[in-house]
Amino acid sequence: MKNIVLARIDDRLIHGQVVTAWVRTVDANQIVIADDALMRDTFTQRVLKAAAPPGISLEILAVDDAAVHLLEDAAGERIVLLTKTPQAIERIVEAGVLLDTVILGGLGFKQGRARFNRNVSASPEEIDSFKRMLDRGIDILYQLVPSEVPAHIKKLLEG
């Protein structure tokens, strides 16, 4: 399995300087975006490629393909895994990828999501997915930027 130095849920994906700060902090050399819908959106793929920090390779993959990629033998990669939803991370875990910790960045408010704080809203399905991952023993920490003190998501979900 490849070395995943950061698994992060953030529906803004590559959010300019925020991702750059994370990449710097965890000393990553590859970003893997796992998202099925993006596979049909070549324009957004182009935007994301332009937004990737210099010197970092970017792989945009369907969730199942991302899991396959991550399970392949390591070749010096230090990977930041980005998804828009907890369910995508959960599918990757179910496929056999081992993760101790998942960092929750932002999930923007939209129809069907309840707001937990200024940057995190989640739907009942997303909350269930978080809970299943917590039950598997994965730590899920809310942390927007590396300098912020991470907060355990349990507190957030229980309000």
Partner 1 sequence: MIAIIVLSHAHIAEALKEGAEMIVGDQPGFHAFGLQAGESPDALRERLERALVAEAPNEVLVLTDLRSGTPFNVAVSLMEQHRFRHLSGVNLGLLLEALLSRDRLGVDDLCHTLAEVGPTTIVDVNAFLEG
Binding site for partner 1 (CB under 8 A): 15-18, 20-21, 46-47, 49-50, 118-119, 144-148
Question: Which residue, 87 or 106, is less far from partner 1 as judged by CB?
Answer: 106
Torsion of CA 133, 138, 139, 143, to 10 degrees: -70
**What's the maximum distance between 2 C-alpha atoms anywhere in the chain?**
42
Per the rule left: phi > 0, alpha: psi between -120 and 50, beta: everything else, 108 is beta
Give yes or no for a contact between 140 and 105, defined as CB atoms under 8 angstroms apart. no
* In the complex, least distance from residue 50 CB atom to partner 1, rounded to whole angstroms: 5
CB of 100 to partner 1, least distance (A): 23
> Smallest distance, Å, CB 58 to partner 1?
12
- The smaller minimum CB distance to partner 1, of residues 12 and 131, is found at 12
Q: Which residues have CB under 8 Å from 13's CB, separation 6+?
A: 19, 33, 35, 48, 82, 84
How near is the Cβ of 106 to partner 1 at its closest, in Å? 9
Residue number, 45 or 101, with CB nearest to partner 1: 45
Residue placing its CB nearer to partner 1 in the complex, 43 or 100:
43
**Distance of closest approach, residue 37 Cβ to partner 1, in angstroms:** 20
Instruction: Kindly tell me which of 117 and 136 has the beta carbon lying closer to partner 1.
Output: 117
Q: Is-contact 38 11, C-beta < 8 A?
A: no
